[in-house]
Structure 1
Amino acid sequence: MMEPKKVVVLALHDALESAYPPLNIAVGAASSGADVILAFSRKGVNILDEKYIPVPSEGIEYLSNALNDFNAPSIHELLEIAVETGVKLYVVDLDLKEDIHFLYPADQVPIKWVLNEAVSADLFVHF
């Protein structure tokens, strides 16, 4: 039997257009049987916050409506699918004094750990 592929995804930003790619890749990879690590940087960790409201960057405000028109799942729905498909969640170098209420548990790891995991991964992407 073949070893499952290993995929490491690093979410660097929480703007709407930056939140979808790492979640889509993590869900797709996990759905295909890969072992997936989804790590969130300090600027991406808000995606895990129950109060997170994804806002598009200036100039692409139309994106919210386009995603609604397309019936795309919300960021929180994608995160739920990721967890249900076995994606492992991590936060990188987070200052735990920040007032974040995680929707799902995530282990705290140093960036060096993520990069070490990335070296042995079949795919490493960051957005």
Structure 2
Amino acid sequence: MDTKKVVVFAMHDELESAYPPLNISIGAASTDADVILAFSRNGINILDKNYIPTPSKGKEYLANALDDFKATSISDLLSIAVNLRVRFVVPDIDVPESRIVSELPFEKVPLKWLLNEAATADLFVHF
């Protein structure tokens, strides 16, 4: 069977937008799919080891709910993704180098490359 390709685009860094791309990436990678997780200028903060997700206005209850359910932290999810060989990329046109604060492995890629990868993926989602 052919290896599936999954491209996930993290476009925002609010609490409710940070978990879905990581969960989908980890789930897909755990099935041996090739996974690319891209971060936009508004999602790049997720890669910062000091990132503390805050919910959007009106969704403040989410922070307490995640604590109550003992949800895995964003930092731990990123570590799991790295261990599962999820490929982190940042479109070069979207995020200046000075905005990227990360100790995690990531690649700067041309936006055109990312769009081509998304077009040929078995699954492409964005949040």
Deviation at 1:108, TM superposition (A): 0.5
Q: CA separation in 1, counterparts of 2:118 and 2:40?
A: 15
Q: CA separation in 1, counterparts of 2:90 and 2:38?
A: 5
* Aligned amino acid, residue 101 of structure 1: V
- The CA RMSD measured in Å over matched residues stands at 1.0
Task: Could you tell me which runs of 5 or more consecutive residues in structure 2 were left unpaired when the two chains were aligned.
Answer: none
Aligned length: 125
Q: Identify the residue that residue 117 of structure 1 maps to in structure 2.
A: 117
* Aligned amino acid, residue 97 of structure 1: S
TM-score between both structures, scaled by the size of structure 1: 0.94
Deviation at 1:37, TM superposition (A): 0.3
Q: Identify the residue that residue 97 of structure 2 maps to in structure 1.
A: 96
* Aligned amino acid, residue 98 of structure 2: K
Deviation at 1:97, TM superposition (A): 2.2
- Pair 1:25 & 2:53 matched: no
> What are the equivalent positions in structure 2 for 1:3-82 lying under 5 Å apart?
3-82=2-81
Q: Identify the residue that residue 85 of structure 2 maps to in structure 1.
A: 86
After superposition, give the CA deviation of every residue in 1:17-69 in whole Å (9 maximum; x if it has no partner).
Answer: 00000000000000011000000001100000112110000101010110111
In structure 1, the residue corresponding to 2:108 is in which secondary structure? strand
After superposition, give the CA deviation of every residue in 1:52-107 in whole Å (9 maximum; x if it has no partner).
Answer: 11000010101011011111101111111111111000012320122x42030210
Deviation at 1:122, TM superposition (A): 0.3
* Aligned amino acid, residue 102 of structure 1: S
TM-score between both structures, scaled by the size of structure 2: 0.94
In structure 2, the residue corresponding to 1:97 is in which secondary structure? helix
